[in-house]
Structure 1
Amino acid sequence: MNEPDANAPAGESDRAAFRAGDVDARSRESLARTGLDYRRVAVDGDGYAPWLQSVARGFQDGERSDEQIAAARERSGYRRLTGVFDGAGPAPETPVATIASWIGELTVPGGGVVPSCAISAVTVAPTHRRRGVARAMLEGELRAARDAGVPMAMLTVSESTLYGRYGFGPAAAGASWRIETRRAGWVGPRPDGRIDFISRERVRELLPMLHERVRRRTAGEIDVPGGHWDGFAGTNPTAEKAGDRRAVQYADADGEVRGAAVYTVRENHDDFTKATVEVRYLLAETDAAYAALWRFLLELDLVAEVHAAELSADEPLLWMIADQRAAKVTVRDHQYVRIIDVVAALEARRYGAAGRVVLDVSDPLDLAGGRCLLEVDEAGAGRVRRLADDEEPDAPVVELGIAELSATYLGGVSLATLAAAGRVRVTDASHEGPDGTGPIAAATRLLSWHTTPRLSFWY
């Protein structure tokens, strides 16, 4: 993948080349000096089963059965799998650390997409902690992505404190909701059209099609790997309690399906009028579909609470219920991103105002640091160029780390907020914006975006 168009979808040849690429030589040599072997694991090889068992153990899950291994293998062909092995241990074929990655497409402000290295399944066995294993794997994966020409990396994390040291910043928050249905009261739209129950197999067909029609509308969303849809719909043959999943679709007045939801119901055996609904996944192509599906869920009989997770931090639903205090909303970090190529990443997105700013970026891994000038035209398109050491353009100068630049990238946090938190520094405080505002205000307005980023699932 040489000099990619950051707005172009990643091609299958690029994805295949990344999967087949060797592990990073620098990390391999570092681990070899400690007696560990760092290598890729073939999905169709004998090493897959012990690799998967190590992942399950790392996330405190139970041992996988032969049927579960076969089902997971069938759905893992899109991923690049890597393991760290200890040949001196009693089970040299079982990795003591794991990581998986693939090239996905991250939606950025303005509706474009940028190829991004999605990272998951990061585990290190407790027996091999504090030996530099995680650092070698993560730095190695980032260097592999850079060498493949991928301008971004992204991940969702279990332990939020681990990834800032590698330049990742929390860029799209996720909101968890608990709604008291009797207290909420529906005051939102009551659109025409109809809600109907459908089979899990039918919702498995609908979800990918709907997602492709909507994913470019929201910064932070990504293309969903095929196997994930089986998990959402409950069509994976090894899924536990798949029969508990119920699915509905919304069709508009013209009969076109514009949304779908999957949910489960947990009975309250002390009071059968107070069941709990868990919304597993909801996709809406239109405002009408969004309103119709949420109204259906909140007005289900014998239900006291509706729970949902990975929602936006700015959901319209809050303004569709009569009593906002009926909803208990918890917001936390969810989608992390890491810029690898500053020029390609910044030119892929759109901006909130015209102007220019110098970004002086520090990067602890020496992947994306340096000074560059971002110039945004009246249409919101940005152009970026690297600056020579002696070049001082007439523009605000903002000093920040790559994690802070990555955190602002999707529009989820402003430069002004990071500056107030001491995470960003303006070194040219005399510069004023075109309307007389200070430099941080001008830079904040330029880098802003008008919608809240979101990622609707974990990976």
Structure 2
Amino acid sequence: MGTDHLTLPVDPTSRERLRTDNLRLDLVDTADPDAYAAWARAESRGFHSSVETDEAIEQRRSYVGGRRLTGVWDGTVAEPFAPVATSEAWPTEITVPGRRSVSAWAISGVTVAPTHRRHGLARALLEAELRTAHELGLPIAALTVSESTIYGRFGFGPAALARDLTIDTRRAAWTGPVSTGRVHFVSTDQLRDEGLALVERVRLATPGQMSYDGILWDRQLGLMVGDEDAKKLRLVRCDDSAGDLQGFAVFKLTENPADFTQYRLDLLHLVTATDDAYAALWRFVLEMDLVSEVVAHLRPVDEPVRWMVSDFRSVKVAELDHLWLRVLDVPAALQARTFAAPGRVVLEVTDPLGFAEGTWSLEVDESGAAAVSVTEDPPDVRMTAQELGAIYLGGVSPATLTAAGRLTGDATRLEAMFRSPVAAWLSIWF
């Protein structure tokens, strides 16, 4: 794609809709420090974040070279230079079943100032992003959400769930494999390049993971100016018997002021390429002295660690929707992934925005490769674009959606075809 997404004009439909309300939709010139700073402060305010310093904002600006930033301005407010709504987006690659990737439009930073809510600004921004992605020829759009009630109306469905685990280490004696790997502490500089290479190396193993670097990686390592938690972060790596990196973990410790022997360990990131490294790092975390509780954030729904400790109930689970997907080009999206079973099914998809609208023949051969075409045959299954996004990675069962009344027709073949042997999971926020 190159830099086409940076030069494409702002969406004219949303621009005209807002213009009638005396609002201006436009792109942000990220080469202009003042223009970027005004946008960044508006975005931070929209998420109720702390006011950033000039140094922190300038550091953030250094990462946005490949991103497309959009804002809405109201010339009648006291600070007309500051946008009253924001969004940003960029092209990325998301893993799909079959150890393959699909190009996607990653959408982030969607905010509307409290003074301008309920005026259609979020709708204008999101529809603009979807039309832009469609214009660029991207098959899907993706986002992680702070509010799960917003995005279904735009055709997004929760495609990959995640779990936070809270583990009582006093009950969770290790019963898992004895690893041959070596765990040792490392500095940020020692992990920065090799760790990111490992992230990309293992990405294709799990549907829902995305390709990334820049701010999304450096944020994990505590390299952002003004990050209050950076001083607390600890990094460890696990090497195999040959001395090659096979996994790493990033965590922080918080003291219990009432009892020095009752620290809480927050496991922020754990990435492994082998089962041996997985066992080594989890055992290291769970057997750390003076720690009574481990809280692991944004873990997969099929996390094996519960089967590697003596008390299954020592691991408490809180599940959340995380990665939401929106199909924009049905043939391109479905043909990008591998399916679990051969067969033919006719899908009728309704889409108020029109992108995925139609009746589609999905034919899968013995290898799992798909061919998708428009058909006039009667549909076997009916759904909206939201349900199509939800089942796309195999992370949500068509049978579940049928039972919930969200999908109608015979979903038996759909269930077999869309199933993924690996649970969909995205390990980061973006």
Question: How far has the Cα of 1:442 moved from its partner?
Answer: 2.1
2:70 and 2:402 map into 1 onto residues whose CA distance is 38
Question: How far has the Cα of 1:240 moved from its partner?
Answer: 2.0
Give the one of 407, 415, 420 matched to 1:449. 420
2:264 and 2:286 map into 1 onto residues whose CA distance is 11
Say whether residues 1:120 and 2:104 are aligned partners.
no
Does the Cα contact within 8 Å between 1:400 and 1:425 map onto a contact in 2? yes
Written as runs of structure 1 = structure 2, the 5 A alignment for 1:14-413 is: 16-45=3-32, 46-387=34-375, 391-392=376-377, 397-413=380-396
Instruction: Tell me what 1:434 maps to.
Output: none
2:209 and 2:131 map into 1 onto residues whose CA distance is 24
Question: How far has the Cα of 1:454 moved from its partner?
Answer: 0.2
Change (3 A) 1:237 1:90: closer
Q: Using structure 2 for the length normalisation, give the TM-score.
A: 0.98
Question: How far has the Cα of 1:211 moved from its partner?
Answer: 0.6
Deviation track 1:249-283 (CA, whole Å, cap 9, x = no partner) reads: 10111111111111110011211111000112111
2:259 and 2:302 map into 1 onto residues whose CA distance is 33
What secondary structure, in the 3-state scheme, does the structure 1 residue paired with 2:9 have?
Answer: coil
Say whether residues 1:415 and 2:398 are aligned partners.
yes
Letter in 2 for 1:456: S
2:257 and 2:77 map into 1 onto residues whose CA distance is 49
Question: How far has the Cα of 1:241 moved from its partner?
Answer: 3.5
What secondary structure, in the 3-state scheme, does the structure 1 residue paired with 2:219 have?
Answer: helix
Deviates more, 1:166-175 or 1:219-228: 219-228
Change (3 A) 1:355 1:458: same
What secondary structure, in the 3-state scheme, does the structure 2 residue paired with 1:70 have?
Answer: helix
Does the Cα contact within 8 Å between 1:201 and 1:235 map onto a contact in 2? no
Q: Using structure 1 for the length normalisation, give the TM-score.
A: 0.92
Question: How far has the Cα of 1:230 moved from its partner?
Answer: 1.4
Deviation track 1:356-377 (CA, whole Å, cap 9, x = no partner) reads: 0001000011111101100011
Instruction: Tell me what 1:440 maps to.
Output: 411
Does the Cα contact within 8 Å between 2:90 and 2:105 map onto a contact in 1? yes
Letter in 1 for 2:112: V
Letter in 1 for 2:273: E
Deviation track 1:268-301 (CA, whole Å, cap 9, x = no partner) reads: 1211111000112111011111110000000000
Question: How far has the Cα of 1:155 moved from its partner?
Answer: 0.3
Question: How far has the Cα of 1:311 moved from its partner?
Answer: 0.5
1:176 and 1:130 map into 2 onto residues whose CA distance is 32
Does the Cα contact within 8 Å between 1:245 and 1:264 map onto a contact in 2? yes
1:241 and 1:442 map into 2 onto residues whose CA distance is 48
Does the Cα contact within 8 Å between 1:171 and 1:407 map onto a contact in 2? yes
Letter in 1 for 2:253: V
2:13 and 2:82 map into 1 onto residues whose CA distance is 23
What secondary structure, in the 3-state scheme, does the structure 2 residue paired with 1:418 have?
Answer: helix
Does the Cα contact within 8 Å between 1:109 and 1:350 map onto a contact in 2? yes
Letter in 1 for 2:128: G
2:75 and 2:427 map into 1 onto residues whose CA distance is 40
Instruction: Tell me what 1:431 maps to.
Output: none
Deviation track 1:370-409 (CA, whole Å, cap 9, x = no partner) reads: 011000111111110111xxx327xx61010000011000
